[in-house]
């Protein structure tokens, strides 16, 4: 839920490797990112106050209103500020949806945009329902968990690479917990609603506390302490543990870009790939989709993504950089294909629409270094 940082303002981005994958007939581009300006978090945002009031209101609703009315009330809440969100975000949303899903989706963009605002409000209502500790047992259909259990039998640990759909944070973790999969979550220090001082002190802990019910532990990512984080993740995988990583391209120093859909683009973090190669851990994608609000959810774990293990720590181990990136490119496309299938199924529930229309290449602050 935390605000996304504009990449151009805070980072210098360079192309480190461009890999052509023959089987897919497309390029996969790897980037490095270096911080050039340190963001100074605000003390409080106007949005923080609205979110605080909304959480309190939704807690009250969860206590006194029957669950069958929750979705209707979320629809009403989303409509209150729909016009302002549309003025700021709708043009980019239409462009992205059209590029990824095809021109036919453009005619449905307004309905998808409204459905997406509703889904975001239902996400906060999910949190309120969990905070009240009601006897609420939604139907969660978890698929693909047998592959995870089989991978754990091999003894090298598992990484589950999670996509940012509205139900993933709470329902996805709950699905794994109820299936007996004990997980550690990797997250940024400002995980939650916002990175402001007010949100980190008063709002974000609500979400973190509820998520932690379904986790064995949380590994907080800090750019200044990446070595210690790497050690913790490696130790968990070495002990045959399960690590959850959410696809947030702003959390690491490298990321990768692929084509998405008809003419769109997608960026993915490379951290899960690097750890899978370094530790020999099995890698899976996961998306949690809302089928019937507050009643039925599909938690979808994809087939195992094959990543060739490195002989030494680091990206690619003893292989040359070109070969190292080449082995990861196929894994990236496998993850992309699984993600795209889930995205087409429930596009309104994806939280990062708005930057899929254009490639990262081309900005004045980005420079190619691969010759």
366 vs 54 pLDDT, higher one: 54
Q: What is the DSSP string of 219-235?
A: EEE-GGGHHHHHHHHHH
In sequence order, what are the residues at sequence separation of 6 or more whose Cβ sits closer than 8 angstroms to the Cβ of residue 197? 41, 42, 43, 44
pLDDT at 5 over 90: no
pLDDT tens per residue across span 49-96? 999 999 999 999 999 999 999 999 999 999 999 999 999 999 999 999
pLDDT class of 224 with cuts at 50, 70, 90: low
pLDDT score for 38? 74
pLDDT score for 227? 84
Average pLDDT over residues 190-202: 92
Pairing relationship of beta strands 26-35 and 254-260 according to DSSP bridges: antiparallel
Both tokens of 22, joined, read 């023959």
Contact 50, 196 (CB under 8 A): no
Instruction: Specify the 3-state DSSP secondary structure of 314.
Output: coil
pLDDT score for 363? 39
Average pLDDT over residues 122-128: 97
pLDDT class of 151 with cuts at 50, 70, 90: very high
pLDDT at 364 over 50: no
Average pLDDT over residues 245-272: 89
Distance CA 179, CA 371 (A): 49
Instruction: Specify the 3-state DSSP secondary structure of 76.
Output: helix
Q: What is the DSSP letter of 3?
A: P
Least confident window among 72-76, 218-222, 228-232, 345-349: 218-222
Q: What is the DSSP string of 241-279?
A: -EEEEE--TTSSSEEEEEEETTTEEEEEESHHHHHHHHH
pLDDT at 98 over 60: yes
Round the average pLDDT of the chain to a whole number and report it.
89
The structure's pTM equals 0.91
pLDDT score for 321? 62
Beta bridge partners of 141: 298
């Amino acid at each position: 839920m935390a605000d996304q940082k504009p990449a151009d303002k805070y980072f210098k981005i360079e192309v480190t490797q461009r890999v052509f994958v023959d089987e897919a007939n497309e390029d996969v581009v790897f980037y490095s990112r270096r911080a050039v300006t340190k963001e100074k978090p605000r003390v409080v945002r106007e949005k923080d106050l609205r979110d605080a009031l909304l959480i309190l209101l939704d807690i009250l609703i969860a206590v006194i209103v029957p669950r069958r009315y929750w979705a209707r009330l979320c629809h009403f809440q989303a409509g209150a500020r729909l016009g302002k969100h549309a003025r700021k975000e709708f043009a980019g949303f239409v462009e992205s949806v059209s590029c990824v899903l095809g021109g036919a989706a453009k005619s449905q963009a307004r309905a998808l945009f409204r459905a997406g605002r509703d889904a975001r409000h239902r996400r906060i209502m999910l949190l309120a329902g969990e905070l009240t500790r009601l006897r609420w047992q939604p139907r969660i259909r978890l698929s693909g968990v047998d592959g995870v259990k089989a991978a754990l039998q091999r003894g090298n640990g598992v990484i589950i690479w999670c996509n940012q759909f509205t139900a993933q944070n709470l329902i996805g973790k709950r699905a794994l917990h109820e299936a007996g999969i004990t997980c550690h979550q990797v997250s940024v220090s400002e995980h939650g609603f916002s990175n402001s001082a007010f949100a980190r002190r008063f709002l974000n802990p609500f979400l973190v506390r509820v998520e932690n019910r379904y986790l064995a532990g949380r590994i907080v990512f800090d750019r200044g302490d990446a070595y210690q984080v790497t050690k913790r993740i490696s130790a968990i995988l070495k002990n045959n543990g399960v690590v959850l990583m959410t696809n947030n391209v702003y959390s690491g120093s490298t990321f990768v870009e692929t084509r998405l859909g008809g003419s769109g683009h997608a960026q993915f973090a490379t951290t899960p790939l690097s750890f899978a190669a370094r530790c020999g851990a099995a890698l899976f994608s996961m998306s949690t989709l809302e089928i019937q609000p507050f009643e039925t959810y599909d938690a979808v774990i994809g087939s195992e993504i094959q990543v060739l293990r490195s002989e030494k720590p680091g990206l690619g181990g003893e292989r040359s950089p070109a070969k190292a990136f080449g082995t990861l490119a196929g894994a990236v496309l496998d993850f992309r294909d699984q993600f795209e299938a889930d995205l087409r199924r429930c596009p309104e529930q994806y939280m990062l629409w708005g930057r899929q229309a254009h490639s990262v290449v081309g900005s004045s602050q980005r420079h190619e270094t691969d010759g």
